[in-house]
Amino acid sequence: MKLFTTAKPIALAVTVSLMALGCSEQPTKPTATKQDAIDFVAEAEATLADLSVEVSRAEWIYQTYITEDTASLAADAGESFTATTVALAHKAAKFDDLELPDEVRRKLDKLKLALVLPSPLDKEKNAELAKIAADLGGMYGKGKYITNDGQVLSLPEMGQIMANSRDADELLELWQGWRQVSPPMRPLYQRQVELANQGAQGLGFADLGQMWRSNYDMPADDFSTELDRLWGQVKPLYDALHCHVRAELGEHYGTDLVPQDQPIPAHLLGNMWAQSWGNIYDLVGPENADPGFDLTKQLAHHQYDERDMVKAAEGFFTSLGFDPLPETFWHRSQFIQPRDRDVVCHASAWDLDNKDDIRIKMCIQRTGEEFAVIHHELGHNIYQRAYKEQPYLFQGSANDGFHEALGDTVALSVTPKYLKQMGLIEQVPDESADLGLLMKMALDKVAFIPFGLLVDQWRWQVFSGQITPEQYNQAWWQLREKYQGVKAPIARSEADFDPGAKYHVPGNTPYTRYFLAHILQFQLHRSLCQTAGDSGSIHRCSIFGSDDAGKVLAQGLELGASQPWQQTLEVMTGSKDMDATAILDYFAPLKVWLDEQNQGRQCGW
């Protein structure tokens, strides 16, 4: 399953007087008071709320119309917005020792952690960091590959071929071809790390990784321990899936190409990054487990176009009691890839005015997978709209994993029961046919979980200096092998920069949110199914049409980031703790089958 970002975009250059904000680089008076902090927060929040509207519009233009001019505007925008936010963050840090009302303290903390890439308090370095960020985004967005036979392919086109080809040589060519986009990023990325670390240190953090980990309402080290605990809950299921998939790929491609005691070659898993494996279901799925329908074919049979797919996803949310999308959504969103210009096709959800100007940006493919992706993206928009009445600094999710989890929680309800209610299939198959559906889901969801963990494990070690620039690629593949049991199909060197071939690295999007989302979505789904009164198997449950489930969702979403995520989770599930056992419950029938298949096989790597 693909996963996508929802962060407020950075854009337009707006001239702001930092002196007027009390954010001069001149020393402030040493006797800051409680009232000073309250006044500062109110003024800073109003300033950022105004800036963000124009900022988001410029970034939207850049991502939907990539040119040198829009890239320059985005760089200027990033510079201006970052300079303002950095200055405010430094000012916020000056109130750290004051005893303040909880809401004021939380807003100050949010302000300090608002930037993914904090720049140093230096105009030239801020401009340099903004330009690097824009350049890296442009390199990725404009990436193409010319095949050996002269065909020019975009990343979505390469992805489609990798999803369907079973020719190992062709898959290897595309895998190598896309990774030609990233080596030029390497020196820029190294410099970006240096500058962003300086910015994080200026805010009182050891490095940028510690700053990212501090955004989860618990000490940074405790958060790392929590991730390890959750991964430990899921790992036995992942190991069983890995063992079976490797054995079946060995049957198809031969054990010379897929040795049965080693990690799986990354190009054979149906996805450019081997992050999800659903596209190779035909090679590894259970025999005689056809659910009786192919959603991609059913969408075509019912003549669903891209807009129809979005309309269907909107209908799910309105069935839960949420308002329809505003008319501007339909006029302003990007649903298909334009023929006349470069765009960033990576799917994302946008809130441009902190009120009702919500949009999605996609290059929709008419597939069953994209049908679920659209539900995911609209989940972001519904969440954005739900917390619009919160103060600006609380207009966000309980933690960033919640934003990613919400849409996928709804997508878990895209079950045969739901598809029948939508008229896309004629009858719900018997539960005995669910093994295939569970395998397809596991190949997307369970296979993704270690990838969701390792991307930031790599970055955090880069930020801390544990991984030096001379080890970037080597360390990347060490982590891929450690967590995923996946290896590069050919020798890689430090002349390569394979992390940069994944959008979120040059795009500077923290990735742990996707790991958390995969834990939370099953936990939320299990709880909402109970709220909806569905006592059957949780993998068969759909909350479509449940007013009770919709009310619980709304109560949690409306809180935004106004309180620690543990409290929001308790509102939505009755528990303050994240719990991966819901994943084990969901896939319990599949785990039994996998264990049977793996008897006598050599598992592990």
The model's pLDDT over 358-399, given as tens digits with 9 standing for 90+, comes to: 999 999 999 988 998 899 899 999 999 999 999 999 999 999
pLDDT digits (tens, 9 = 90+) for 445-464: 999 999 999 999 999 999 99
376 is catalytic: yes
Burial class of 195 by CB neighbour count within 10 A (0 to 12, 13 to 18, 19+): buried
Q: Torsion-angle region of residue 57: left (phi > 0), alpha (psi -120 to 50) or beta?
A: alpha
In this predicted structure, the answer to whether residue 155 has a pLDDT above a threshold of 70 is yes
Residue 219 banded pLDDT, cuts 50, 70, 90: very high
Any idea which of 127-131, 192-196, 359-363 has the lowest mean pLDDT?
Answer: 127-131
> Active-site residue 370, yes or no?
no
Work out the average pLDDT over 316-337: 95
Give mean pLDDT, residues 225-248. 97
pLDDT of 496 reads: 97
Supply the pLDDT for residue 30: 59
DSSP letter (8 states) at residue 67:
-
Report residue 61 as tokens: 């233009």
Task: Please tell me which residue in 504, 518, 525, 539 is annotated as part of the active site.
Answer: 504
Q: Which of 90, 244, 267, 380 is catalytic?
A: 380
Please, are residues 14 and 56 in contact by the beta-carbon 8 Å criterion?
A: no
Catalytic residue among 242, 267, 346, 539: 346
Q: Is 380 one of the annotated active-site residues of the chain?
A: yes
Residue 4 has pLDDT above 80, yes or no: no
Q: Give 18's pLDDT tier (boundaries 50, 70, 90).
A: very low
- Catalytic residue, candidates 11, 44, 247, 347: 347
N-term to C-term CA, the chain: 24
The band of 470, judged by pLDDT with boundaries at 50, 70 and 90, is very high
The catalytic position among 90, 376, 403, 518 is 376
Residues 6+ positions from 215 with CB-CB distance below 8 Å: 113, 399, 400
Q: Given the residues 62, 216, 511, 514, select the one marked as catalytic.
A: 514
Domain positions in the chain: 34-166+181-205
Mean pLDDT, rounded, of the chain: 91
For 476-601, list the strands marked E by DSSP: 486-487
3-state secondary structure of 400: helix
Whether 377 is a known active-site residue: answer yes
Indicate which residue of 244, 267, 377, 405 is catalytic. Answer: 377
DSSP annotation of 490: S
Q: Specify the 3-state DSSP secondary structure of 405.
A: helix
Check if 90 is active-site: no
539 tagged catalytic: no
302 a catalytic residue: no
Q: Return d(Cα 447, Cα 451) in angstroms, integer.
A: 8
Give the predicted TM-score (pTM) of the model: 0.85
Catalytic residue chosen out of the listed positions 90, 404, 503, 539: 404
pLDDT mean over 43-50 = 91
The yes-or-no answer on residue 347 being catalytic is yes
